[in-house]
Each structure stands twice: as structure tokens, then as C-alpha cells.
Amino acid sequence: MVKSLAISLIALIIMKDLNMSIIGLSLLTITSLMTTSTAISSVEMGGLYTTDFVMGLMVTLTLFVAALSHLSSVKTARKSSFNLMVVSITLILLMSFSVSSFFLFFFFRESISTSAIANCGMSMSASAITSSGLYGYLYCVWFALLSMSRKGIMCKSNKEKNKVCSKYSKEKRYKTVVTVYSGLLNKLPMYPFHLWLPKAHVEAPVAGSMLLAGVVLKLGGYGLLRFMSVMQMNLSSVFYILLLLVNLAGGLYAGLVCVRQVDLKCLVAYSSVAHMSLVLLGVLSNTPVGVMGAVIIMIGHGLCSSGLFSYVNVAYKMSHSRLLVMNKGGLLICPSLVLMCFLLSSSNMAAPPSLNLFGEILVFGVGGWMSGLFLCILGLMSFISACFSLYLYGSCNHGKGMMHSESLSFSSMCDIMILAVHWVPLNFLFMFMP
Amino acid sequence: MKLMSSNLPLLVLICSGYLSIFTGSILSSAYLLEVPVWDSHCLSFSFSILADNVSMIFVGTVLVISGSVATYCKWYMASETYYNRFMGLVWLFVLSMIFMILVPNLVMLLIGWDGLGLTSFLLVAYYQNNKSLSAAMLTALTNRIGDVLVLVSISILLNEGGWLVYSYYPVSMWSGLSVVVVLAGMTKSAQMPFCAWLPAAMAAPTPVSSLVHSSTLVTAGVYLVLRSFYVVSANPLATQMLMILSLFTLVLAGSSAVFAFDLKKVIALSTLSQLSLMMFSISILLPFVAFFHLVTHAVFKALLFLGAGGVIHSNQSIQDIRGLSSLWQSLPVSMSAMSVAIVSLSGAPFMSGFYSKDLIIELSMMDSSMTYGCYMLELLGLIFTSFYSARIVFSVMLGSNYINCSTLRLFEHLNMQVPFLSLYVGAIFLGLSLGSTMEKFGYVVVLESYESLSIFLIPFVGLAMWWGVLTKLGFNPWSWTKMLSFFLSMWLVESLTSHPGKTLFFKSSLMMYQTLDQGWLELLGPQGVYAKLGQVSQLNEVVQSNYFTYQMVAWSLVTIAGLSLVVFM
């Protein structure tokens, strides 16, 4: 893991032409994903960093997705500033996953939103910046303010700030939970706080989308997971039950809304919202099986949604449109791309042996253990995920091609390889999970 | 000779299939191979393979059918541009079917179970038109319901601590598991509420219909239910539900097949009725008899479908029964294969379909739990079977319709005849050879002689009805237009089950999107906040622009208040 990190830094800083080193890096990170995931013990380094297997997985996922997002935007304009942006986002993400203090975690987590907005703005016009910036700020900053203020109070009142092993006094626990959760749930995003996500995706360039869906969304789940491990919470409180119900209903609604989308990126973004509610259920169940399921779904979803955004980008390059009606008949144009699209969208609907299915089985088990009602809702969500995944595949790739575009540009081998590299760990990593 | 050498791997496959059936029928012990895959906390998943006589016989049957179909595809899909892609999908399908049969572990079973749904989605959507896409969607989503139900039963079993649902004796288990498993089997086997997809899936190429939607995919549901028989039979509610719904499907499918005009649809509906017969025999606690019928049915139905495919392909893709006539002259080998399959289907004595069907009827006659009504429904369904079989024989093979004046010289390729031959053997002898194996399970039939004679006569009742109704009485049920539309739409099943679901789905999703995502959430969230902030800043602007006036008014008010206080105190 350390080796691959060092190599990635060397490759990104020293070498000018990054593509070859990045292909090597992505292979290294796959092996690293396998090895870190077997390390169960947790190691604290100098009071600043903590490593355990969740952190190791998240860090490797970040490196992996960052490498692939760089590869999928090789031909960007303003190359150097773009590279700077991607590298800075990656570094901030790495920091926020690996620091052991809650305060620093929140600090880095919030600095992501700034650089993400800058990233969104890179390729867009001024009006686009205003709308996505408005949404991003209104959601992220407002809730961040709430949780940061609470963090400050916590840091003052508590001596221990470590996110792995601190304990809480009972007073003000309720307020702490509500405020900190609101910040994290917004990042996740949970259903009522999700409006910023499709808008940010629509306006971000492909690398931004891949990083956002693949890694940034995991910050919320990761933070919740850490927070749950130190926070003693009354599992029969009204807040908790309400949170679970809103979360599951929200996942269902997000899935339903998916089939009404006309924009490919919006569709994939809403499908992330639907999947994130499974993560939240796993984390909130506060059982080893549920937490394991949540981590596995996070990894699986990170790979899968990043791959789907990459696919959307390839489709965009071919048809010059992200609209569903303008992307038809892919099978006639580029069969290998269609194969990758099918593999990724079937993994998105949790087909075996993907990590999504593995995590879904665990979360289903926990949901059934919690309540029969949850099991019913989870079943419906799983069904709807099949609906929108097959909708995505069928509407893009089946039928006669749209002949609106006079000069079709074909996808390159590199694009297909990027999609394949997303799919391979997604479907074979289950063997290496601890 | 050249043809033989190019088909050698497939012929070896067929032979190994028959070998596997033979091995399975003499196998007396079961072998379970288990490899742990994931182990954590108190939970472990392992990959396991079960080889006993049931799974060996079924795998053998799948191999025989898939080898025959692959040989047949060389002729049928010869002009297909993407032949390799097509065959790749077919082999993927066969692989996931074999996984489904051999893996008894419910978690790892999902590999085959989900894989069947996904590959059949791709195979049904193989032709690039809207009809096949919508049929594929219907197929995949109905199968997805089954996947979800398997996930739910995994979740229930998670609290029990074991995944081998096949050898699971329920002790403290929540008895809902039986209902869930039965429902999961019913989605794959297209029983009553989920039966709209099976006729729709005929949009696939005919060899696929032969392999997928008659002999393998649809029997996966039956296989799951019969394997997890101990769980299913633990709950009388589950078996009662299965019995009622399967008998209902039997009558529905039989009556619709009598009225359907599309040759492929008639055969699809007959598959449906045979599946419901298997489900019925499970529901009266006869899982091994159901398995016996499953195997014999798979072979003769594949043969029937291949014959029908030959008919359709040789007649410029005409599928309408009214347009096909006297094919025994032009396609003698196909027609003899088809007639064997049909005779076996209708359960005529000493064909392989006879042994299995006969056993089901006899044992259901002996079953005391069956009511008289159920028994009548069963007999009605069986009579329908022989009626539509007679209809296929008399119109497609022997009939002389005047619509089709084909002047083509039809030719039967060797690649078409070899699979016929291999399945032919199965359709005739499999019942006899497996029947002796079934005796090992100890089913003893005790019936009066007139009862067994009546069973003997059932196949001929339909024939007699066909003869009597059409020829002697001149009575034509296909002229009643209102009834015809009712039966052609399979008792309106699509408008009753899948259409309302679809409408509800899309309406609710539109409602969600408009009222929540574009409505309330925007109003309470960004847009509303933006508007409110704008209003506040406008107010501020007004206040600040008239700063002096407001200041004056405020101060004068304060002064007046102070003065009045001073004065009145």
C-alpha cells in the first residue's frame, strides 16, 4: 500500500506524461486492494494517522479511481491546471480517509467541497457555476457549519478526539448526533438532501464525476461508520427509527425517480442515491455484518458508478449528447463498448458475483433481522435497481441507431480498457474480502 | 463425414449427457464438495457442488438438449452475421443453468439463478426490434422478482445459520420461508400471477426458445421448489397455495393454447401447462415424480420446439397455424420428430411422457387431500393438452389449408436431422428407463382397473373431441370473436398483472419526481432558501434606502412613547 502510494506520488509529480505510469499504478492498486483488505488489525501512527482495513480499502479505492479518472480525461483542455485539480482532490481525499482525529477529518472533508466546486467550474460557463455552486454551497456549507460548530464544542469538552477510540459523555449526545449526522447524511447523500448531487454531476467533467461518485460520496459513509463506532446511540429512539425509515423510503423514491430521468448522468447519479441508502442501513444497524455489508457496498458502488460515469462519457464522445433519446443502437456501432456497459449495469443491479451483490446479501440479512417491513422495502429497492439498470442498458444499446450525427466518432481501445479495469476488481474482489 | 467431424464436440457433449443421465439413474449415494469462500465474524459463505442422482440426471438432460440445440443452430442461424455472439450467449446460458443445478448453497445458487435471468434477457432481446426489447424487459423483471425472493429467503436463513436449503429440516424456522421459496420458484416457472412473460419470451430466436423457454430456464423454478421440498412441505399454506395456483395455470394455459393461432405460442402455452403439472405434483407432495416429468418433458419439448423451428424456418418465417399445411410431404424427418414429441406430450401409452404423466395422475387419484374440484380441473387441463396436440397434428402436418401455396422445394439439412435423432431417442425411451429408477423411490400405485383404464384413455379424449367437434358437428369455436380475444390474451393475464404494475410504477415515479424532487424538496431546500434570502435582502435594501425616514419615524415614535410615559406616570 505504502509502496503504491509512493509510486503514485512520484508518477504524478515527476513524470510529465502520465498515462503509462497510471496504467501501472492502477494494476498496483488492484494488488494493493487485495493485500490491504486482508489486514484486519488496526494500527495507529503518531497520533495522526490510523490504518485499518476500512481505511486501507478506501485509500486504495481513491488511488484507483483517481488514476482511472485521469486516464479517461486524457484529452482535456487546460491540461496542467486540470491535473493540479485532480491531484489536489486526490490528496485531500487521502488525507481525510487516513487522519485519525475527527476534527481533521471534518476539515479535509469540507475542503473537498470547495475544490469539487472549482473542478465543476473548470469546463463550464459562468451560469453553470452559479447554479451548481449555489446548490453545493447551500447544502454542504450549511450542514458543514452545523457539524463543525458541534465539532468545536466536542473538541473543547473532550480530551480524546480520536475517531477510533474516543468516548462520549452522555450530556448533549442527542444534539451532537443530530448535528453531526446532518453533515454526514448530506454528504452521503441521503434522500431529502440529495438535490445537489445530480446537478453537480451534470456540470462536472468526467474526472470530476468519477471522483465524486466513486470516492467523495464514500466520505459520508466512512464518517458515519467511524462516528457510529464511538457514539453510543439509543437504538429505539425516535430519531433513529425515523432516520431509518426516511432513509429506506428515500432509497425507494430515488430508484423510482431514476426511470424518469432523461439525462444519462442524472440517471447514474440517482442510482447512487438509491445505493447509498443501503450503505446507511448497514452502518446504522450497528452490527458487524451490517457494517461489513456497508463497506463492501461502498467499495462496489465506488467502482461501479465510476465505471458507469466513464461509460456515459464514452457515449457522450460518440453521440455528442448525454440525453437518453440521442444515444440509441449502441450495439450496431460498438459491440465491445456495449459488452462493458452490460457488465457494469448488471453489476449495478447487483448481479453475481459483484461486490454489490455480496454487500446487498449482508445488508438484506441485517434488514431482515431488524424488521420484516425493512425486508420488503429492501426487496422493492433491489427490484427497482434492476429496472433502472436494464433501462439504462436497453435504451442506450438496443434497437436501430440514431442517424442524427453525420460523423460518428468511435470509442478508443483506451476507453474500453478503462471500463474493463473497473469491472474486474468489482467482480473478483469478493474472494479477497476479509 | 465432414459435417460429422465438425460437429464432433457437440456429439461428444450429447453422448456425455446421456452417460450422465445413465450414471445418475444408477447412482445410489450423493457427493457434496464444499469450498469455503468467505469467512467472517459468525458468518461464512462457501461454494458447494452437489452430485446426486437428481442433479446428475438433470445436468445430463441439459447437456443432451444443449448439444442438440447447438448442432441445430448451425443450420438455423447459418445466415446470422453475429453467429459467434449468439452462440456465446447460448453457452453462457447453459453454464449458468449447470451452476443452478449443481450448487445447493442458496447464496452461490444466485450465480446461476441471476445468470439465467440476465442471459435470457440478452437472448430474448437478441433481435433489434421494440417487441423483443419489451418481451426481454418483461422476462428479466419477472425473473428479478424471483431473484429478490431468493435474497429474501437468504436473509431469513441468515438468522438460521445455514445455507443448504435443500437439506434443511425446519425446526424453529419462520414458516414464511416456505411461501417465499415457492413464490421464487413460481416466478421462474411462470405460474399464475407471473405467467405473462413466458409467451412474450417467444420473441427470441427459435433454438433459444427450445433450449431456454421450454426445457431449462423455466424448469429451474420447479427444480428449486422440489429440491427445497422439506422447507416447502413444512408449511401447509405454501403447498395449498401452490396447488390452487398451479391448477389454475394448468387450465388457463391449456384453454389458451386451444385458441392460439401462433405455432410458437401454442407450444409455449403447452410448456406452461406442463410446468404447472409439475408444480401441482410437488404440491401434492410428490417431488420426485415432478422431477421425472421435468426430465421427460424437457426432452420431448425441446424436440417439439426444434421441429416447429424447422417448420417456421422452412416456410419463410410463417408462424401462423392457419398458414401451414401438409408438411409431412415436404419435411418428413421434422414431422416424424414432431409427431413423436406431440404424442409423448399428450401422454399416449408407452412414450416417455406417458410414464411420468401417468404416475402423476395415478398418484393424485390416490391422494386423499385433493378435493373433487381440484381433480376435475386437473383432468380438464390434461384433456386440453391432447386437444391442442391434435390440433397441431391435424393442421400443420396433415391439414390442407389453402392459404399457403408454397412452391419452395424444402430440404432438410443434416445439421437439423442429427439433433432430431438424439432427442428422438430420449423422447421415446427416457421414460421407460427412468421409470425403473423411480420405482426405487417406492411409489406404489393402487388403483381400480377402470381408473387406470380411464387414465389410458385421456390422450384419446382430446383426439375424439377434435374429431367430433370439428368434423362431425361442424362446430367452430374460433369464430366466437369475444371469447377468442379473451383466450388469445391468456385470460387477460397481461392486462391484469403486468400492465397495472407498470402503470403504477411509472405514475408513482412521475409523481415522486414532480412533487418531491422538483417540488417540495426544491421549495424547502435550495430554491426556497434562495427565494427567501432574496426577499430578506430586498427588505434590507428598502430599509437601507429609506434610512433617514425610518430613523426619523422610529426616533419620533420612541420620543412620543417616552413623553407619554412621563406624562401619564
Residues 6+ apart with CB under 8 A from B295: B21, B57, B58, B61, B356, B430, B434
Record the cell numbers describing residue A191, joined without a space. Answer: 434522500
Query: Does one domain contain both B294 and B368?
Result: yes
Residues of B in contact with A362 (CB under 8 A): 43
Average pLDDT, chain A: 78
In chain A, % of residues over pLDDT 70: 71
Residue A305 maps to a domain: yes
Query: Does one domain contain both B468 and B559?
Result: no
pTM: 0.89
Of B156, B509, B521, the CB nearest to A192: B521
Domain final residue pick, B460, B491, B522: B491
Q: Which of A352-361, B330-339, B501-510 has the lowest mean pLDDT?
A: B330-339
| B58 reaches A (C-beta below 8 A) | no
In chain B, % of residues over pLDDT 90: 30
Do the beta carbons of residue B335 and residue B328 sit within 8 Å? yes
pLDDT of residue A83: 77
Determine the 3-state secondary structure of B144 from DSSP: helix
On the question of pLDDT at B402 being above 70, the answer is no
Q: Which chain A residue has its CA at the smallest distance from B40's CA?
A: A434
Kindly determine whether residue A138 and residue B43, on different chains, have CB atoms separated by under 8 Å.
no
Query: Does one domain contain both B475 and B519?
Result: no
Name B49's bridge partners: B33
pLDDT of residue A9: 59
pLDDT of residue B442: 62
Residue B115 maps to a domain: yes
On the question of pLDDT at B87 being above 90, the answer is yes
What would the mean pLDDT of B553-565 be, rounded to a whole number?
90
pLDDT band at residue A295 under the 50/70/90 scheme? very high
Query: Does one domain contain both B151 and B221?
Result: yes
Residue B207 maps to a domain: yes
Cβ contacts below 8 Å, chain A against chain B, sum to: 131
Residues of A in contact with B125 (CB under 8 A): 394, 398
pLDDT of residue B486: 83
Residue A223 maps to a domain: no
Residue B393 maps to a domain: yes
Query: Does one domain contain both B417 and B556?
Result: no
> Cis omega before residue B500 (within 30°)?
no
Query: Does one domain contain both B450 and B512?
Result: no
With cell 419526481, the residue in question is B513
- The residue among B37, B121, B151, B187 with the most chain A CBs within 10 A of its CB, best to mutate, is B151
Residue A395 maps to a domain: yes
Query: Does one domain contain both B354 and B442?
Result: yes
Task: Name which of B386, B389, B405, B387 is nearest B397 in CA terms.
Answer: B389
Residue B496 maps to a domain: no
pLDDT of residue A81: 76
Query: Does one domain contain both B427 and B514?
Result: no
Other CB atoms within 10 A of residue A20 CB? 10
pLDDT of residue A165: 45
What is the domain count for chain A? 1
Of B40, B122, B128, the CB nearest to A434: B40
| B332 reaches A (C-beta below 8 A) | no
- Summarised one tens digit per residue, pLDDT across range B421-461 is 888 888 888 888 887 777 666 666 767 777 777 777 777 88
Kindly determine whether residue B155 and residue A288, on different chains, have CB atoms separated by under 8 Å.
no
Query: Does one domain contain both B440 and B513?
Result: no
pLDDT band at residue A126 under the 50/70/90 scheme? very low
What is the domain count for chain B? 2
Of B110, B125, B522, the CB nearest to A352: B110
Q: Which chain A residue has its CA at the smallest distance from B521's CA?
A: A192
pLDDT of residue B455: 76
Q: What are the Cα distances from residue A375, in Å, to A190, A361, B129, B152, B264?
A: 19, 11, 37, 7, 39
pLDDT band at residue A125 under the 50/70/90 scheme? very low
pLDDT of residue A139: 62
pLDDT band at residue A207 under the 50/70/90 scheme? confident
Domain final residue pick, B491, B519, B541: B491
Domain extent for B542: 505-568
What's the ipTM? 0.90
Query: Does one domain contain both B262 and B303?
Result: yes
Region for A78 from its dihedrals, namely left if φ exceeds 0, alpha if ψ lies in -120 to 50, beta otherwise: left
pLDDT of residue B525: 75
| B133 reaches A (C-beta below 8 A) | yes
3-state secondary structure string, chain A? Answer: CHHHHHHHHHHHHCCCCCHHHHHHHHHHHHHHHHHHHHCCCCEEECCCEEECHHHHHHHHHHHHHHHHHHHHCCCCCCHHHHHHHHHHHHHHHHHHHHECEHHHHHHHHHHHHHHHHHHHHHCCCHHHHHHHHHHHHHHHHHHHHHHHHHHHHHHHHCCCCECCCCCCCCCCHHHHHHHHHHHHHHHCCCHHHCCHHHHHHHHCCHHHHHHHHHHHHHHHHHHHHHHHHHCCCCCCCHHHHHHHHHHHHHHHHHHHHHCCCCEHHHHHHHHHHHHHHHHHHHHHHCCHHHHHHHHHHHHHHHHHHHHHHHHHHHHHHHHCCCEHHHCCCHHHHCHHHHHHHHHHHHHHCCCCCCHHHHHHHHHHHHHHHHCHHHHHHHHHHHHHHHHHHHHHHHHHHCCCCCCCCCCCCCCCHHHHHHHHHHHHHHHHHHHHCC
Residue A21 maps to a domain: no
pLDDT of residue B540: 87
Query: Does one domain contain both B11 and B130?
Result: yes
Domain final residue pick, B431, B457, B491: B491
Residue A232 maps to a domain: no
Kindly determine whether residue B133 and residue A346, on different chains, have CB atoms separated by under 8 Å.
no
Query: Does one domain contain both B551 and B437?
Result: no
Residue A111 maps to a domain: no
Residue A64 maps to a domain: no
Enumerate residues 223 to 282 of chain B having a beta carbon within 8 A of any beta carbon in chain A.
Answer: none
Domain extent for A289: 237-434
Task: Name which of B190, B105, B209 is nearest B150 in CA terms.
Answer: B105
- The residue among A142, A364, A392, A396 with the most chain B CBs within 10 A of its CB, best to mutate, is A364
Residue A337 maps to a domain: yes
pLDDT of residue A124: 47
| B114 reaches A (C-beta below 8 A) | yes
On the question of pLDDT at A128 being above 60, the answer is no
Contacts 24+ apart (CB under 8 A), B25-34: B25/B53, B25/B57, B25/B433, B25/B434, B25/B436, B25/B437, B26/B437, B27/B51, B27/B52, B27/B53, B27/B56, B28/B53, B32/B104, B34/B105
Dihedral sign, CA of A79, A80, A83, A85? Answer: negative
pLDDT band at residue A90 under the 50/70/90 scheme? confident
What would the mean pLDDT of B342-350 be, rounded to a whole number?
85
Rounded to 5 degrees, φ, ψ at B34 are -130, 125
Kindly determine whether residue A138 and residue B525, on different chains, have CB atoms separated by under 8 Å.
yes
